[in-house]
Structures are given as C-alpha cells and as structure tokens.
Structure 1
Amino acid sequence: MSAPAELVAALPQYDIGESIGEGGMGVVFAGVHRTLGRSVAIKQLPWDILNHAASSELFDREARVLASLDHPHIVPVYDYVRTGREHLLVMERLDGGTVHSRFHGGGVSGEQACAIGLAMLAGLHAAHRAGVLHLDVKPRNLLFNLQGVVKVADFGIARVISEGATLVTHGGEILGTPAYIAPEQAMGNALSPAADVYAAGTVLYELLSGQLPFDNTRGAISMMRQHMFTDPRPIAGVPMPIAGVVMRSLARELDARYREAESFAADLAAAATAVYGAGWLERAGVPVLHLTPRMIAGLNSATAPAPPAESPTRPVRRPGIPDPTLVGAPGGTSNPPLGPSRGQDSTSGPTSAPGSGAAVLWLRLAAGAAAIVLVVLALLNPARLPHEASPTLRLGGAPVSAPVEVDLSKPLVMTGTGNPGRVTLDLSAAGIPLGSASTEAKPEGNGFTAQLTLPGIARWIVGGAVTADVRTGTSTQTFTLLTSQHPLASAMGAGTLILALFALAYLESGLRTIRNGHRWRGAAVGGPVLGLLFGAAVWLCVSVLRVHEPSPGFGAGCAVAGAVAAGLVVAAARRRASTVVSRPSGR
C-alpha cells in the first residue's frame, strides 16, 4: 500500500515508500530522510481513535515522553508530527525481524530466550523509570536490528489508544493482546509496571517452553477470563531456578508477582547463571548492551534466587505529571529501586507489623460469624406472620383465616357480610407497599361482593408470600396472600437475587482494589452499605423462594449482619494492606 497524500505532505523531508506493516496500533511505512540518508519507519496512528480532543492532547504529551527515552533496548523516536487529523511517529527502522518471526522460524535456545528476556526487561525498566507503561508487550513488538540487538517498540501507544477506544481498536484487535494481557489490565483496574512484568513473563514462558501459559484455542474472551480467574499451568521442560522466576512473574495477585522489571531481570540473570554457568550471556549471541548494577550483580551470582516478597506497587504517573517517587523525576527523591537488591539480606522484603496478623485473623473470624448470623436469620424468618382471623371474609371463595393463594393476573373476588361501601386491598412486604386495588362493593344476599383488579405491574413485582390488608368501611382485616406464579418470575425473587449478586460483586471488586495495593475511596462507608444491601437482598430472596411472609424484624437483622460482615472484611483488608512494612536491608 502506498503512503496517502496527507502523510507525504506532512513529512516533506522524507522519501516515503510502501507500507511495511499494519495492526491495531496503526500502519507503518518505510521512509528515508532526504538529507541524512537515514532509514526510518513512519507509524501512522489510528486517526478515528485519536481524532478526539482528549486523546490527541494525551498523545501529544505521551509522544514528548517517548521521544525522551534513550536506551539501547528501546526503539528510538526521532520525530513526531501532528497535522490535521494525522498523528505520525518517525522511528528507527529495524530490519532484523521480530522475536515472533525468529521464534517461529528456527526457534531459540534457553540461553537466547533468557538473553532476549534480559534485553526486554532492561528496556521496560528504563521506560518505567521515565513514567511510561507499554501495556502491549508481545513477541511482535520485540524487534531485532541488523546487529541482533533486541529493541522494544510501541511504548505507550496502547494506553493512549485505550483512552478513546476501551478494549477494542478500530481494527477489532483487543488492546493488550489477550494472550499476554495482565489480569488487572483485563479487569480494567489501576495499572502499574507489574502489568508489563506479567506480559514480559508470558513472552519468556513462550520462548522457553514453546507454548503459552493458558489454552489459546477458545478465543480472545476465553483467554482474558483465564488470565483473570485461573492460574497459569506450570512451565514444562524448563530448569527449576528459571521456571520459578518465570512463574513468579505470572502470579495473578500483585502481592506474589514482581512489582517492577528490574527485580525480574536480576532474578532471571541469577537463575540463568545458576543453570547455564558463567559466561552464558556471551554464548547466547544476543547482545545485551545495558544492564543496571542490580542486573549485573544477578548475572554474576552463582546462587539461584530465592522468592522474596515485594513491596507495594507505586503507580506510574501520567505523562506530563511528575511523580516524586520516581528516581530522577523532577522534584523526586533518590529512593532505592523497589524490591531486594543483590547483595542485600535475602530475607529483605515486606512483612506485617507485630500483632497485625492476629488482628486481621480476628476481624475475619468476626466477619465470618456475622455472615453465619445473616444466613441463620434468613432461614429462621417465620413462614407466616400472626394475623387476627376473620370468620366472614373470603377471597376467591377461600376464607382469609388461612393463607389464600391467588393468580394476580386475574381479578380478585372478595365476599363478606354486611354492606361496607368501598373495599380496598393493599399488598405489602415488611411494610413496603407493593400494590393496591379499590372498588365499590355490590350487595349480594346478606353480604357483599367486590371485584378487585390490581395494577398489571403488580404480578411482576409480587412473589412468594406477602401481607394483604382489606379495608371495608371502618375495619381492616390482615391476612397472608400467596401468589400462584413461580417466585423467580417476580422482581421480589429474581430482582433481589440480582441485587445480592451485584452487591457481592461490587464489594469483591473493592476488596481486590485494596489487595492490589490501591486505595478504595469511601471504603469505610461503601463496604457496610454494600453489606447492608446484600443482607437485605438475601433475606428477601430466601423468604420469597421459601414462600415465607417477610418479617421486618428478621429483615433488619439480616441487613445489620450483612453490614457488619462487610465492614469487618473491609477493615481486615485495609489493615493487612496498611501494616505491610519493609524490614531494613543488611549487607
């Protein structure tokens, strides 16, 4: 495909050739700088996504950060041009193929896979230090130059495009590539360098074992669900020190995963040295041009790495907003990198403050007790509430002194003695009105008859057993009314079940946010409120399914028990997250 006229006009200093690649992140054209004679790759980004003010401004800021990245294992950005609707990145052109093509062409050895992993992680670490996440690390985005140096391409583009297109691009590709996407990225949670660590670990798993950590035969949605809810299968045919490092990088929970690329790279280097011996990197024939001192220490280590715990994740800043916690950031401090360094105490890492574990355990036990109380109260809700019997009032020919079953889709015929004038029927559950019907009574013999038609929506709301009040003249008679339709065919049945599941899912989402090291705003109020909704919904749903007349006292008890249980669970999660402290490291 030839370059469009708009692209040629936007870059007059370049001779632009044919398209050399196309994907969800845009179309790539070959080009040559007219004066310098330098071969370049020109990426034309998807205008239909970036043609929004917010996305355009975000990418303008991101492009400036990308252009500032200077690392031998990152594809350099030479220029960025925005004109009209065009967003163009001019980058180094790499003609040595991709890791994907080399892997599927002739394969790679274990040493070569580890060397590629080190180069990839070195580039990711440099980008993370600059505040840039990749979010689409995969073999096709790892390119070789003609000297065999691995470079990571397309930094930051996926995140910017995702701002305007959620998970799917204009080409139908899922951002993040389902086979390599991190669980928190698939779930839409807050992201950190650990998301790129997960993707890099998946790439390394594939290079070493020849397969992916999950079944990739059932489509993109299935693949994403596996990343979110299941653990990867153990890596096969890989020596244990390296296998342990790779599997740690693929942990679903952030607490168990490497939090940043440097820790991953240092442990990978140490594991490869333990397996392949000193000098393995030179024998691999894959140049690794820049390693941090911590990575070099791992490379020179003769001991396989132990699995230390990591400290909490620091979120990566948005482009243009300095992060004071990043080393070298404007106004930042020179804090040491996250995770244990080589030469530090092998026990270095987070632990809980004294007594915090016991406190968390007691909070969880108390929450469990409150949940048991909720279930018991829901099951103990009485079948019928006490009502004063009426010897004369009948509904549909049945005396109301006992529960009466009716079909709410049909008119209800009420008979009795005397001449009450107007007859009104009110339905309620635990004092909550559900529907009402009223009509003038007609004399019949020594009594009356009244045909009552409830609103049509009442049959969709009312389910199970409810309380009925019949007002005749100055007297009111209360009895239990049973509906003939299935309880789940009503809002009281299916609706409360859905409400309970919604409250539980939302509560779990908040707890997952806390467990992943992030803040759940309003947790102190939101947790108990969700628990209250869950308790009340469970009580009403169980009552309806068992055709028990809802008792307001038991309902209040279930709601309070639910609120207490949820509040205690949230308190336990927050206490556990807040009491993680680092032991001092020693030499």
Structure 2
Amino acid sequence: MSAGTAPSPTVVAALPQYEIGAQIGHGGMGVVYEGVHRPLGRPVAIKRLPHVLAEDVRMSARFEHEARLLARLDHPHIVPVYDYVQSHGEHLLVIEKLDGGTVWSASTGRGLTPSESCAIALAALSGLHAAHGAGVLHLDVKPKNLLFTAQGALKVADFGISQVVSEGATLVTHGGQVLGTPAYLSPEQALGNPLSPAADVYATATVLYELLSGRLPFESGGGALAVIQRHVHQRPRPLTEVPDPLARVVMRGLERDPQARYRNAETFAVDLAGAAAEVLGPDWLLRAALPVHLAPQVAAASTRPSGRPSVPRETLDIPVRATAVDLPPPARLDGRTLLPAAGLLDRPKPARWFALAAVVAALVAVALPFARPGRDLPVLERDLSRPVVVEDAVAPARLTVTAGGFPLAEVTAVPQSAPAAFELPGAARWIVGGAAVATVEAGDRRTEYSLRPTEHPMISVMGVGGAVLLLFTLAYLESLLRSLRRRQAGAAALVASAPLGFGLGVAVWLLPSVLLRHEPTPLPALVCGVLGAAAAVCTAVATRRAAGPAGR
C-alpha cells in the first residue's frame, strides 16, 4: 500500500466541498484519499473508482444505481456511504474514514485469538446479510476489506464495486494478473457462473479459516491462475488447528458446490456462533471484547451452554498470527484489456484410459508371482544355522547357492563328511529367505536343489528387504501423486514415477516369492518391474490430467 500521493486536479475540482489529502490506499478497484468535509468538519475517505466506469456509459449507470443502494444501507457493520459524485470525468465515492486498521494488519501483526476471529466473522456476516437483503453482493470479501473503527468495531468496506466492474465474473489481464484477490474467490465466481450470497459466504469462510489457522485453505504458489484452479478443482486442506465442531462449520462454508455450502450469511452465522460457544465457552464473545451487532437467533446461539469445553481454558485466548502470503498484486483496470478468467482456466482432461492401463498393469504384476510355477527340483529343507547336509553327495564336493541369478555362497564340503555337509557363511544364512538354488558338484556329478530354510521366510534379508522396498516405494509414490493432485509438481514427477514404479514391481515380485517359497528368478522380476513402472507412470499421468496443469 502506497501513501502520500497527492490527488489529481480533476478529483479536487469534482469535490469542492471537501479538503482532499494524500492517497492512503490503492487496489484493483480504485484509489483512496483521505479528506475532510469542510462545512461539517467530518473526516472522510474518498474512493476514486477506475476510469473504466466513466468510459462505459452502461457501467456508469449501473454503478450509480449501486451507489444509491449502498447509501441506503444503514448497518453497524457496513462502512456508510456519504456521497457519490460523477464530475470532471471522475467517479468518486465518499465514505466513512476508519482509523482502527484492517483485519489483515491485526492478524499479521499482533495476531488474533480464536474468540476475536469468530467475533470478526460474525460481524462481517451480519453486515453481509443486511447487504444481501438489499440486493447487493460484495464479491471481494478479504481481510483488507474488513476495517476497524477507532473504538474497535468492525465494518465491511467496498461493497458492490467488484460486481459492477466485472459483472460478477473474475477478470484477468493478458499477462495473467487477476482483478481481485484469488485467495478468497469462490469457485462459481472464478467460473463466471450465476452468483448468490453463497459466494460471499465462501470468501468469509476463507477469511475465518486463515484467522484461526494462520494459513490459507489452499497452497498459494504458482501464480494467480494456479490459485484459482485450486479453488475450482481441489478440496481445501482440513482445518486441524481448532476442535472439530468449529472446524466443521468453517469447512462447510468452503464447500465447492454452492448448494452444499451455507446459502446465506445468517445461517452460517447461527452455526458459527453455536460452534464457538461449544468450543470456546458461552462467554466467548465477552472475552473477544469486540462490539458485534447480532440478529436474535445468532445472539441466542452464541451463548448456548456447553456441557464441557472442547479445549482447555488456558488455550482459548492464544493469539494466532496469519502468514503474510506473497500473492501477485491485483490488476489495475486503467489501460488494461481484461478477459474472463473462466476462459483461461484449464479444465481437467479425460484420464480414464490411463487409469485403466494402470489398473491392468498393476493386476498383472500382482498376479505374476502367484501364477508362475516353480521349477521341479528336489527340496533341501534345512536349518541354515547348521551345516547343510546333502545325503546324495560325499566329500570332496562343492556347494554353490544363488538367488535371482546372484551368487550368495560357494563352499566346499566339510572334510571327511559322509554324507557331504556344507558350512554356509553367516551373511548367506541371513540372506536366503523363501528358497534359493543350491548346486552341488561332486566329481562329475552336478545336481540342483531347491534350498529352503526351516526358519520363517520373513526372518531374512530377502523377506524384510522385499517388505521395506514395498513400503518405501508406496510411500514415495503416494507423496508424488499427492503433489500432482495439488498441482505442486509437473512433468518431472512423471519421470520420477517410473523408477519408483519399477522398484514397487520388483517388491511385488520378491515378497510373494519369498512367502510362497518359490525360486526367485531374474526374468519375472524384470517383467514385474516394467509392469510396475508402467502402472506408476499411467497413474501419475491420470492424476495430472484429472487435476490440470500446475499453472501457466
């Protein structure tokens, strides 16, 4: 926010009864100057609306009608409109000047307690409900538009401006700048769908979520359009910082479908007041020390007795500081060509064929270890902690143990043992799990056996290694897919899914082979690895297509 810029001569000429001071704020919907009404000596704020209003006759007429509606709104939680002037090519809205700062400055500065946050939301909902009853939607509710008086009362500012300028749709520039604040935007507003009070309910729930948790419901990276994409296509992160009764009310206010959301501000306020009383105690509004004008049913709910507090009393009044998110500045209307954001939002692409391919590859990989029969070899079931005795061989003889084509041990028979006995090295004893191939060479005779330890297959490197590999690859794949669903990862995630899938396929081959005491052979392992890689890549592609790109 910049300050100190002097008003233009046309602004001064349009308001001869006012002494106009320096600029005290600006945003996508106009510039604000401080001023004083000379005859009354009353401090005021003067909002200079975008020049696009003066250039479009139809829009100018609509805003004049809107200004009349706003001037008739007389509510303790709405910034009153004192005057509206169209002169010298300027559109100027004269409103009450509030000196208590904004909810944004309070939440990112000293922080707000849960009681204060809920009281702020009730005050905002009270003002919004009155405006909705008069036929005015706000469509730009955010912490910077919630202002405090010097006495600490909250008032909602900037009613109706966004609705007139954009006709309810979300507008962007060719460069991707968004008119308005995408972090608090309802999905239906982003898509240019018909709007109702539920759009302001969504924005208020987003503000309350941020005040209670110190963070926004969605990730803020990737630019303004990516933020809008998340509001349209994703579910918000759960609100875990407050007890369930309060979190449940806030999350209902954030439902993507307006029909599943609170349809008006007052029903939201009733449930919020009741949940706050249940969680924070029936005296929570007194502790908030914030003057709030409530409808009778909301006031009754706010003092609802609670059988037992949901959180310990000593934690009720700990301030929460919101994180100052570095979002792109809002687009300025002057000299910009604006387009509906709905036309630039990427729609999810069909992903069913990739999902089907992933399922087929995964099923074949899982079935392969069970369907493949083992070789018909004589079985040596032995306790590997002792010498392995082979009745059909006599010393001198040599024993070679392999698993999956990899040699594990090569030993000669214990001298003068009959039948031949072979002492395996310690490492080999712990590696062999379900089965290994034991090749005995005695003279000109060479015989292969299926060597199976008497111990449980999982008490081995092969058994434990297969389980660890399975869990490791599953965990990393799940994390990768979650990033794709949230649009936090791009094409690199598809590449990374291939080796993870290959490892998963090998684990899917190894673990059943160990448990079924099948001989592990390399070719089926390779086939299962390739199938696992194919399943992982197809799943990643399907997830990415369903979620849409990470942003432009």
Q: TM-score, normalised by structure 2?
A: 0.54
Which residue in the other structure is 2:301 paired with? Answer: 298
**1:166–1:300 distance in 2 versus 1, CA, 3 Å:** closer
1:111 matches 2:115: yes
C-alpha distance in 2, partners of 1:231/1:76? 36
CA contact (8 A) 1:137 1:176 kept: no
Aligned runs of 1:336-415 on 2, under 5 Å? none
1:174 Cα offset (Å): 2.1
**Identity over aligned residues, as a percent?**
61
Tell me the amino acid that sits aligned with residue 149 of structure 1.
A
Q: Distance in 1 between matches of 2:40 and 2:34?
A: 15
The answer to whether 1:41 aligns with 2:32 is: no
How far apart, CA to CA, are the structure 2 residues paired with 1:247 and 1:175? 26
- Structure 1 residue 56: Cα displacement: 0.4
Measure the CA separation in 2 of the matches of 1:138 and 1:60: 24
The amino acid that maps onto 1:242 is L
| Superposed CA offset, 1:476-535 (max 9, x none) | xxxxxxxxxxxxxxxxxxxxxxxxxxxxxxxxxxxxxxxxxxxxxxxxxxxxxxxxxxxx
How far does the alpha carbon of each residue in 1:61-109 deviate from its partner, in whole angstroms, 9 at most, with x for none?
0010011110010000000001142100000000111000010011101
CA distance in 1, matches of 2:246, 2:114: 10
- State the alpha-carbon separation in 1 of the partners of residues 123 and 225 from structure 2: 31
| Code of the aligned partner of 2:71 | A
Q: Are 1:30 and 2:34 matched, yes or no?
A: yes
Task: Indicate the structure whose relative CO is greater, using CA pairs within 8 Å and at least 6 residues apart.
Answer: 2
Q: How does 1:50-449 map to 2 (within 5 A)?
A: 50-163=54-167, 167-168=171-172, 174-288=178-292, 290-302=293-305
Q: Distance in 2 between matches of 1:164 and 1:155?
A: 12
1:176 positional shift: 3.9
Give the conservation status (yes or no) of the 8 Å contact 1:50–1:161.
no
How far residue 211 of structure 1 moved from its aligned partner, in angstroms, is 0.3
Q: CA deviation at 1:175?
A: 3.2
Report the Cα distance in structure 1 between the residues aligned to 2:149 and 2:298, rounded to whole angstroms: 23
Give the C-alpha shift of residue 285 in structure 1: 1.5
What is the SS of the residue equivalent to 2:136? coil
Match of 1:13 among 14, 17, 35: 17
Q: What amino acid sits opposite 1:293 in the alignment?
A: P
Which amino acid in the other structure matches residue 260 of structure 1? N
1:171: Cα distance to partner? Answer: 11
Contact between 2:198 and 2:264, CA under 8 Å: does it hold in 1? yes
Counterpart in the other structure of 2:6:
2
Equivalent AA in structure 2 for residue 296 of structure 1: A
Q: Is the 8 A contact 1:22 1:28 kept in 2?
A: yes
Cα separation, 2, equivalents of 1:172 and 1:242: 36
Q: What corresponds to 1:562 in structure 2?
A: none
RMSD between aligned residues = 2.3
User: TM-score with structure 1 length normalisation?
Assistant: 0.50
For 1:217 and 1:166, locate their aligned partners in 2 and report how far apart those are by CA, in whole Å: 19
Q: 1:301 to 1:166 in 2, by over 3 A?
A: closer
How much does 1:48 deviate? 2.9
SS in 1 for 2:183: coil
Q: CA 1:126–1:230 in 2, change beyond 3 Å: closer, same or farther?
A: same
What is the distance in 2 between the residues matched to 1:72 and 1:98?
16
Contact 2:162 2:168 in 1 (8 A): no
Query: By how many angstroms is 1:300 displaced?
Result: 2.5
In 2, distance between residues paired with 1:169 and 1:36? 42
SS in 1 for 2:182: coil
> 1:197 touches 1:264 (CA, 8 Å); kept in 2?
yes
SS across alignment from 2:33 = strand
Closer/same/farther in 2, CA of residues 201 and 165 from structure 1, 3 Å limit: closer
Q: Structure 2, unaligned stretches of length 5 or more? A: 308-552
* 1:397-419 per-position Cα deviation (integer Å, ceiling 9, x unaligned): xxxxxxxxxxxxxxxxxxxxxxx
1:255 Cα offset (Å): 2.3
State the shift of 1:50 in Å: 4.2
Change in 2 beyond 3 A, CA 1:28/1:173: farther
**Residues 102, 146 of structure 2: 8 Å contact kept:** yes
Larger-Rg structure: 2
